[in-house]
Amino acid sequence: MGMLTVAVSGSPHSEWLVQQARSLAARLGVPWEALHVETPAADRDSPRGLRAAAALATAAKLGATIARVPAASAADGIQAHLRTTPIRHLVLGHTAEGRRSWFRSPGIADRLLADEQRLAVHRFPHAREEDRGRWNSAGRPAASIPFHHYLLSAGAVALTLVVAGLLQALVGLRTLDLLFLFPVIAVAARLGLGPALLAVALAVLGYNYFLMRPLNAFNLHAPLNLVMGGVLGAVAVYTSTITARLRGRLVLSDRSAQENASIAALAQKLTRDADWETTARTVCEHVHRLFDVQATMYREVDGAICHVASIPSQIRLGPVNQAALDWAWANGEAAGVGTAVLGAADWQFHPLKTSLGMLAVLGIARDDGRDPVNAVQKLLLHTLIAQAALAHERLRLEDRMREASRA
């Protein structure tokens, strides 16, 4: 039968699209998941990234499986996910803007329909976004370039002028305009487009004034100046664009590698733990180190909820926090600060629940009382909780096997 997948982009309509996908999955009678593709141009801390994280959290509450895929583009990420997951239905949102202009490239749905013959694409139109600027749509605020980057750019051009002047005086070379490719490329690759364009302007002016005859005079309308400025400007734009994309992909791959390494490290440690106390302490230590929060673990012993481990120190729960812990244990859902249940509590409690039932409850808290894990980190936290739940399930099965052998 396959699965239904909703692509979460981080637009203001992402949570609405998630709700539509849930309704469609219920009508089709298929399991569903929410997929977010992390691209180099995306930023987790941007408004778009936070909206995507909030939509994923909503999907998780509605019973969806969560998937996050790093890729160069949204279409590439969706296609890669399709190759590894049995997806028959894909839900996409798109702006109701009328027909696509002839000069625009095909959309994601068109590409997927062309490549995936057995895929059913469901497109839900919504109203056009009010703040649909080209740069605002990326959700990333414009980063300010430090002033010393412009000084370094001017210094690189000045150094090139000195070298060119020495070559002209000592060797007698005349065509030295190619030398200015070096500072322009270096500045564009290291400092960005703004300083690179400054380097282009200074290079053209400096070459015109100091190296082009008549010397010490400006002749900005000379064809050589126009060609030089156009070539250097194109090189600056191309180099800065390529290096920015490569740098973004490197950051994305490093971040994904770190998260995967943390999950693998926790799983490896949990396989070596053979009792409830050591397992609980391992989980608390890992969560504390990764999210910089206080962590505590509770489980049921002889019909009572008992404390097992805490990091960094022993804690005492007040009445509100104790009520949140009891509610999380009884209902199998998160409770406490940052949730819809007992939000006045200082702690946030997450149940460790598997097919065997409730196994334990993980509590996390910050010293300042705020939500201990932001929306961007919640997917990683849920993955770690799933790993911890599997480890506790293994302990429960081992206890049952020992009890059966004694009997």
Mean of the pLDDT values across residues 38-48?
72
Mean of the pLDDT values across residues 46-61?
81
274-406 and 3-138 share a CATH fold: no
Predicted pLDDT at 199: 96
* Per-residue pLDDT at 135 exceeds 80: no
Q: Which CATH number describes the domain made up of 3-138?
A: 3.40.50.620
Alpha helices in 64-219 (DSSP H): 74-84, 108-115, 147-170, 181-190, 193-206
Query: Confidence class of residue 179 from pLDDT cuts 50, 70 and 90?
Result: very high
% of the chain surpassing 90 pLDDT: 40
* Per-residue pLDDT at 139 exceeds 50: no
Mean of the pLDDT values across residues 192-197?
94
Burial of 99 by CB count in 10 Å (0-12 exposed, 13-18 middle, 19+ buried)? exposed
More confident call, 356 vs 253: 356
Nearest to 163 by CA among 182, 185, 189: 182
pTM: 0.60
* Per-residue pLDDT at 367 exceeds 90: no
CA angle 304, 310, 316 (to 5 degrees): 65
Predicted pLDDT at 244: 86
Mean of the pLDDT values across residues 328-355?
91
* Least confident range of 37-51, 129-143, 390-404: 129-143
Going 8 to 14 to 15 to 17, the CA torsion angle's sign is negative
Mean of the pLDDT values across residues 257-286?
87
CA 406 to chain centre: 50
- Rounded-to-integer distance, Cα 180 and Cα 267, Å: 54
**pLDDT (tens digit per residue) in 330-339:** 999 999 998 8
Distances from the Cα of 49 to the Cαs of 17, 33, 39, 290, 397, in angstroms?
A: 16, 18, 11, 20, 40
* Per-residue pLDDT at 237 exceeds 70: yes
More confident call, 102 vs 351: 351
Q: Where are the domains of the chain?
A: 3-138, 147-245, 274-406
The answer to whether the beta carbons of residues 81 and 68 sit under 8 Å apart is no
More confident call, 117 vs 289: 289
Architecture of domain 274-406: 2-Layer Sandwich (3.30)
Predicted pLDDT at 351: 94
Query: Confidence class of residue 397 from pLDDT cuts 50, 70 and 90?
Result: very high
